[in-house]
């Protein structure tokens, strides 16, 4: 068994690190950490530089014009990009925008299902960094259990009429289009969940309010009232929306976990450095066993969570089922992140909660990470059910096994991503 990263992956890590240190950090230095967006011109500058350095659209398969770095490559890149003062707090600022701004981490999910019309209108401009989407799955009656969804699309000739409500939707207030999941009715019969792409200037798509949560990068509540769209805006086959949601959520768990490991590593290193500098009662606090144990426990947790994540990504790259593992990884990495940040804050004393350092911001965001992309309880439930093999009626988000594959009809389509 060889745990070494390949030369290709080591070089990738090095180039992403250099990009973060030489391009991102100086440019983002003066930005208000509570801002929800990087100024447009700075974002464009970063995107241009990423394109020039071959760091744009890294997760897009090569046959579509991307770099095709695979899941492990994406994990390593995100881990490096997240080691930044804004890294976890706001994914838009922390680097996910450098992989195109599709709300969940894996654009191939959409390449797999989009028609030529949807590719031209939404997906390709998104991959070039021109459009931003939001992922609208959760609603007041349906979070962990999306089968309770009440949003409904009724087929009316060649159109759909959609009514419902979504909440806690990140980016919805400023995105160009929504990836909307809705139950569907055709000729009076319930046809399950389907996914549609909705222009955000559609009259039936209304931002009800921004939801005031633990961080300033707030999600939104969206009302969908008599929203009418042509059937061409349907992203999946009727009734196949859950498969796409499952792929999207699973991919988001990989993205999340990579960020967790990156930020936890950075927090631990900050704590280590501070413990060597700070003296109390005549010696550095790093010489105290109480501090050493916090550092040791953090290092052990990060090391095991990183190995578990790499194992999962390695399997995904080989089309080996990693559904069981990704639940363990998302659960472990989000909890490790919270624990490591808590210890890093403690080691910094008062400075730990001072807004001058990123620790308190990371800590608030880390609290969300045990809820978003499937709560810790839902991950434990999935892991236990996989082990016990005593399934209750199938949870649809657990249903899809395979990592999304490329739709053969799209395979020849090469996208101009503006790479140099
Ligand atoms: C800041 C933020 C951003 C978000 N962004 C998005 C987004 O962009 N798009 C989107 O679609 N959603 C988004 N969400 C929603 C998020 O995915 C849901 O909040 C999450 O899935 C949990 O759903 P819920 O809030 O309805 O909690 P519930 O499902 O009601 O769960 C409540 C509690 O019960 C527990 N629980 C539920 N079922 C079980 C069970 N079977 N066994 C044991 N315990 C159980 C849960 O773990 C939790 O502790 C976001 C949420 C937040 C807070």
Q: State the Cα–Cα distance between residues 361 and 359, nearest whole angstrom.
A: 5
If one residue of 143, 198, 331, 388 were mutated to test the ligand 1 pocket, choosing by the most ligand atoms within 8 A of its CB, it would be 143
Ligand 1 in reach of 219 Cβ (< 6 A) = yes
- What's 134-157 look like in SS3? EEECCECCECCCHHHCCCEEEEEC
Ligand 1 in reach of 143 Cβ (< 6 A) = yes
Take atom 45 of ligand 1 and give the residue whose Cα is closest: 377
Determine the pLDDT at residue 393: 43
Tell me which residues of the chain have a pLDDT lower than 70: 86-108, 390-420
Number of Cβ atoms within 10 Å of the Cβ of 2: 5
- Residue 331 CA to ligand 1 centre (angstroms): 14
- CB-CB contact of 222 with 166 (8 Å): yes
Q: Which homologous superfamily is 133-239 in? A: Butyryl-CoA Dehydrogenase, subunit A, domain 2 (2.40.110.10)
CATH number belonging to domain 7-131: 1.10.540.10
**Model confidence pTM above 0.85:** yes
Ligand 1 in reach of 249 Cβ (< 6 A) = no
CA 171 to ligand 1: nearest atom:
8
- Residue 142 CA to ligand 1 centre (angstroms): 8
Ligand 1 in reach of 377 Cβ (< 6 A) = yes
Determine the pLDDT at residue 35: 73
- CB-CB contact of 204 with 233 (8 Å): no
Nearest 10 degrees: Cα torsion 64, 70, 73, 78 = 70
Ligand 1 in reach of 252 Cβ (< 6 A) = no
Take atom 6 of ligand 1 and give the residue whose Cα is closest: 169
- CB-CB contact of 97 with 90 (8 Å): no
Ligand 1 in reach of 138 Cβ (< 6 A) = yes
Q: What is the DSSP letter of 21?
A: I
Ligand 1 in reach of 220 Cβ (< 6 A) = no
Ligand 1 in reach of 313 Cβ (< 6 A) = no
- Residue 105 CA to ligand 1 centre (angstroms): 18
Ligand 1 in reach of 168 Cβ (< 6 A) = yes
Q: State the Cα–Cα distance between residues 363 and 368, nearest whole angstrom.
A: 9
Q: Cα separations (Å) of 65 from 96, 124, 244, 318, 417?
A: 18, 11, 22, 21, 7
Q: State the Cα–Cα distance between residues 180 and 237, nearest whole angstrom.
A: 14
Ligand 1 in reach of 141 Cβ (< 6 A) = no
Tokens 């579509």 label which residue? Answer: 64
Determine the pLDDT at residue 267: 96
Phi, psi of 60 (to 5 degrees): -80, 135
Q: Cα separations (Å) of 353 from 31, 218, 364?
A: 19, 21, 11
Chain centroid, CA 260 distance in Å = 11
Ligand 1 in reach of 135 Cβ (< 6 A) = yes
Which tokens is 304 given?
Answer: 């095991």
- Residue 83 CA to ligand 1 centre (angstroms): 26
The full length of the chain comes to 420
Number of Cβ atoms within 10 Å of the Cβ of 235: 23
If one residue of 371, 385, 398 were mutated to test the ligand 1 pocket, choosing by the most ligand atoms within 8 A of its CB, it would be 371
Take atom 26 of ligand 1 and give the residue whose Cα is closest: 143
CATH number belonging to domain 243-399: 1.20.140.10
Domains in the chain: boundaries:
7-131, 133-239, 243-399
Ligand 1 in reach of 169 Cβ (< 6 A) = yes
- Residue 144 CA to ligand 1 centre (angstroms): 5
Residue 248's nearest CA partner among 147, 91, 373, 343 is 373
Ligand 1 in reach of 170 Cβ (< 6 A) = yes
Take atom 9 of ligand 1 and give the residue whose Cα is closest: 169
């Amino acid at each position: 068994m060889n745990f070494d990263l390949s030369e290709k992956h080591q070089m990738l890590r090095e180039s992403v690190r250099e990009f973060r240190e030489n391009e991102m950090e100086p440019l983002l230095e003066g930005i208000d950490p509570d801002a929800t967006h990087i100024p447009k011109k700075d974002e464009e500058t970063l995107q241009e530089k990423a394109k020039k350095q071959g760091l744009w659209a890294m997760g897009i398969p090569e046959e579509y014009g991307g770099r095709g770095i695979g899941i492990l490559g994406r994990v390593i890149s995100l881990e490096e990009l997240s080691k930044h003062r804004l890294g976890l707090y706001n994914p838009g600022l922390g680097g996910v925008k450098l992989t195109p701004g599709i709300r969940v981490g894996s654009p191939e999910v959409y390449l797999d299902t989009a028609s030529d019309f949807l590719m031209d209108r939404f997906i390709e401009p998104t991959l070039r960094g021109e459009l931003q989407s939001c992922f609208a799955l959760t609603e007041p009656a349906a979070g962990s259990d999306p089968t309770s969804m009440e949003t409904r699309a009724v087929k009316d000739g060649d159109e759909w009429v959609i009514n419902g409500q979504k909440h806690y939707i990140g980016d919805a207030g400023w995105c160009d289009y929504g990836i909307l999941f809705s139950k569907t009715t055709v000729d009076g019969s319930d046809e399950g969940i389907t996914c549609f792409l909705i222009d955000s200037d559609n009259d039936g798509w209304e931002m009800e309010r921004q939801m005031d949560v633990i961080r300033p990068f707030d999600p939104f509540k969206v009302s969908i009232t008599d929203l009418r769209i042509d059937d061409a805006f349907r992203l999946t086959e009727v009734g196949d929306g859950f498969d796409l949601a499952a792929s999207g959520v699973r991919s988001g768990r990989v993205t999340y976990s990579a960020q967790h490991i990156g930020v936890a590593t950075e927090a631990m290193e900050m704590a280590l450095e501070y413990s060597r500098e700070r003296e109390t009662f005549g010696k550095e606090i790093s010489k105290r066993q109480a501090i050493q144990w916090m550092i040791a426990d953090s290092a052990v947790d990060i090391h095991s969570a990183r190995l578990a994540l790499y194992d999962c990504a390695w399997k995904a790259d080989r089309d080996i089922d990693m559904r069981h593992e990704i639940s363990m990884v998302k659960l472990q990495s989000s909890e490790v992140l919270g624990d490591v940040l808590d210890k890093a804050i403690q080691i910094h004393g008062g400075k730990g909660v001072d807004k001058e350092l990123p620790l308190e911001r990371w800590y608030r965001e880390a609290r969300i990470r045990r809820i978003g992309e499937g709560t810790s309880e839902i991950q434990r439930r999935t892991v236990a059910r996989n082990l016990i093999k005593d399934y209750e009626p199938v949870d649809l988000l657990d249903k899809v096994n395979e990592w999304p594959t490329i739709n053969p009809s799209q395979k020849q389509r090469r996208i101009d991503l503006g790479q140099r």
